[in-house]
Structure 1
Amino acid sequence: MGSGRQPGRIVAVTGIAVAGAAVMLGIASGVLSAVMARRIVTPGARRTDDVRVKTVDLAAGTITLASTADSVLQGDYSFWFSNDRGHAHLGEVLRLTPTQVTRRILRVDHGDLARAERGRFGGYSFLGPWDLGLDFEDVDVPTEIGDAPAWLVPAEEPDGRWVIQVHGRGVARQETLRATPVFREAGFTSLLVSYRNDGEAPRSGDGRYSLGDAEWRDVDAAIAFAVARGATEIVLMGWSMGGAIVLQTATRSTLRDHIVGVVLDSPVIDWADVARFHGGLLGLPAVVSSGALEVLGRRWGGIFTGQTEPIDFRRLDFVTRAAELELPVLLMHSDDDGFVPADGSRSLAGRRPDIVTFLPFAVARHTKLWNYDRDGWNQAITNWLAEIAPTGRTARPDHPAGAVAD
């Protein structure tokens, strides 16, 4: 006699087990998607001190650090240390080995660098307009949810040309100070703005980022402020998520006739690219990243994320919407960005060579292009501004504004 087992029953049990595993996997993916979605739109996470300090020689003006992708970059950088209690500026690379790098200390703004054990690199070069040695004004931009603080740095001879600078996710308007000198030399007044939930501007009702889908209204208010103060031609410049905000402003503002061009540094062109990239860094399957965007894009997703309004990711995708852009665009991005992949920027440049001037970098990381190659970055902006002068809508006949760099 046989064992008494029935093949049909075995198949059924196996099928139930497989189905159960699939259900559990689906539940796990759904939970991870919800967690990721909440993380994407929640401000305030402390940045990690990811660079170990080996030695500091204040007498010699040098610091030796563990080698990381950021710490070995040529150029001048901010160095936040001791959980943001200290800040210094580090300069040229003096010595480099596979495991450590020695750099010049340019200055220490605050904190005890000699006792620092860990820190992190940033692109800030100035902590406020006072570091630039230029006249400036603290102003408040009236927005629909309250006054948002901003810095106004007037041109030497104001003539109605303004640039509005929009910082990225998780940082503040100090990020954009690097661009003030080159715009001022070109005759532009600079307005460096804050926006909802960035830690300086008013908090929205839900206290969540909208990834550009709502923040653009604060930049729109900044345009109205600038026009009231005499602006006639406005360039918008956005860094990282600020790029997504600027693109929304350029296409949705009722005052867009005053906008004559857009400059983007390491911008988010398509949030789906960014979500997939970060999901990959975390070792998550692609379904989790796409699920996170689904959560963020649905009204029911607010149960998990705390949002009061869903995000329209189709509206934020400027690879798909490339044909809708009308203004000259200067687009700068590094292939080794490490936070916002350059794929979207390259795709946009490829689709709109008629209006997009693309300056690619190979080794400059995220929003550190100015730090890595200050002269090249400044010259690119200077040349582009000359090309769109005087009205912002016309280039010199012998040099089309949409040339794409090799």
Structure 2
Amino acid sequence: MTDLVPGRRRARSGAPSRARRAAVASAAVGGTAALASGGGSLAAAAYFARRIVTPDRVRPDDVVVLGADATSVTLGTNPETVVPGRYGLWLEGGAGHARVGDVLDLDAGAGRVRREVLGIDRGVLGPGTARWNQYFHGSPPDESLGLPTEHVTVDGELGRMPAWVVAPEGGPTHRWAVLVHGRGARREETLRALPPLLAEGWTCLVPTYRNDEGVPAGPDGRYALGLSEWRDVDAAMELALSRGATELMLAGWSMGGAIVLQVLDRSERSDLVSRVLLDAPVVDWGDVLAHHARRHHVPPPVGSLARLLMRHRWGHRLVGVHEGVDLALTDWVRRADELHHRILLIHSADDEFVPFGPSLALAQARPDLVEFPDWRVARHCKEWNTEPERWETLVREFASG
């Protein structure tokens, strides 16, 4: 997931006056004019809400490559480049890709870290800039993992959505796993799950959903944080059933987890789901928004007003959405009693982007359903990166039987 609030901007000169903003907020939510007058301007709240639901079309380089040879690469230090584990680097604006391993040397004072080079898939790794790739893999399964891959399309309500189908050795089985990537991510994010799932006989379906790059956008071009995207995953489940699936597993990373939870709640096919894998999931969008508001010094009244704008019809035009985004529907700690599926929930306590508190609270609320292994060190959606063998063992054991 990309940063929800990359920077605060001044309201445009044409924005409503303070009095008008307070009047609108008061009229809309009744008794909450204090939100506007107490620092929560309508313009700031609308901007915050828009950042949450707007896809990031441009992904700039975020890593400085200081030098490289056949076995190692020296990078400028930042919170990502100094964390142990396996990662990738997008090179040449995404045209190239390299895979890097553990830290070999760290000179924090000089701002330099040297890491092992595990392979250069395409392009040239040399001085310049690059973009960190937490997926490790940078291509479809046939290129990244050497797995025979069928490129198919899912007929969704918005049109044809590309997907990958990867079957175990011997061909497709009756057990299908549908793997759902996160907000602003690519399908390659899910490839880390393929080896353990294939080993246990699961045919893997990796779909896209609305507002992904190169696929049909939603009517408003905005994310609904799982509240509409679930229908695209539901269509992928229907494809699996049409091709012989009788048992389904759902897996979701980050916002993909939020999407999966909505599928379980809303899909007529959810009874065919036997188990669910969640990696650093958004269990409560309200908690995520509050976290990012604090990180970016957004006053609490602004964050509260942003939630109201997203939910109520009067705020839809300001946020740019056609459907309301009711964050209360995404709070699965509060809705824990409504869950009925076995869940393996992997979420690092050191996740800087989606705090693991709601995941822990959900596990504590439903110990009968939720397996929640202790995980440390890994940043957002990077549990596999820091401990790949442990991650794959947990997933394989959960997928067996």
What TM-score comes out, normalization by structure 1 length? 0.86
1:32 counterpart residue number:
44
The separation in 2 between residues aligned to 1:312 and 1:355, in whole angstroms, is 26
2:149 counterpart residue number:
136
The separation in 2 between residues aligned to 1:152 and 1:224, in whole angstroms, is 14
1:145 counterpart residue number:
158
**Are positions 1:252 and 2:266 aligned together?**
yes
The separation in 1 between residues aligned to 2:253 and 2:385, in whole angstroms, is 14
Retained in 2: the 8 A contact 1:260–1:327? Answer: yes
The separation in 2 between residues aligned to 1:86 and 1:281, in whole angstroms, is 32
- Would you say how many aligned residue pairs link Structure 1 and Structure 2? 365
2:340 counterpart residue number:
326
SS at match of 1:78: strand
Retained in 2: the 8 A contact 1:126–1:132? Answer: no
Retained in 1: the 8 A contact 2:35–2:301? Answer: no
Identity of aligned residues (%): 44
The separation in 2 between residues aligned to 1:28 and 1:214, in whole angstroms, is 28
**Which string of whole-angstrom CA distances, capped at 9 and with x for unpartnered residues, describes residues 38-87 of structure 1?**
1111113423433332222x2x4211112222111222101124543532
Q: How does 1:59-98 map to 2 (within 5 A)?
A: 60-98=70-108
Retained in 2: the 8 A contact 1:148–1:200? Answer: no
Q: How does 1:79-118 map to 2 (within 5 A)?
A: 79-98=89-108, 99-118=111-130
The separation in 2 between residues aligned to 1:280 and 1:147, in whole angstroms, is 39
The separation in 2 between residues aligned to 1:121 and 1:133, in whole angstroms, is 20
Retained in 2: the 8 A contact 1:48–1:120? Answer: no
The separation in 1 between residues aligned to 2:131 and 2:173, in whole angstroms, is 43
1:16 counterpart residue number:
none
1:195 counterpart residue number:
209
The separation in 2 between residues aligned to 1:136 and 1:82, in whole angstroms, is 26
Retained in 2: the 8 A contact 1:165–1:237? Answer: yes
1:372 counterpart residue number:
386
Q: How does 1:5-404 map to 2 (within 5 A)?
A: 26=38, 29-56=41-68, 58=69, 60-98=70-108, 99-130=111-142, 131-157=144-170, 158-386=172-400, 389=401
Name the larger-Rg structure.
1
TM-superposed deviation, 1:205: 1.2
**Which string of whole-angstrom CA distances, capped at 9 and with x for unpartnered residues, describes residues 134-175 of structure 1?**
111011111111111000001224431110000000012111
The separation in 1 between residues aligned to 2:124 and 2:329, in whole angstroms, is 46
Alignment CA distance shift 1:168-1:373 (3 Å): same
Retained in 2: the 8 A contact 1:44–1:170? Answer: yes
SS at match of 1:192: strand
The separation in 2 between residues aligned to 1:69 and 1:48, in whole angstroms, is 16
Retained in 2: the 8 A contact 1:80–1:122? Answer: no
**Which string of whole-angstrom CA distances, capped at 9 and with x for unpartnered residues, describes residues 285-304 of structure 1?**
22222222211111122211
Unaligned runs of 5+ in 2: 1-21, 23-33
TM-superposed deviation, 1:26: 4.7
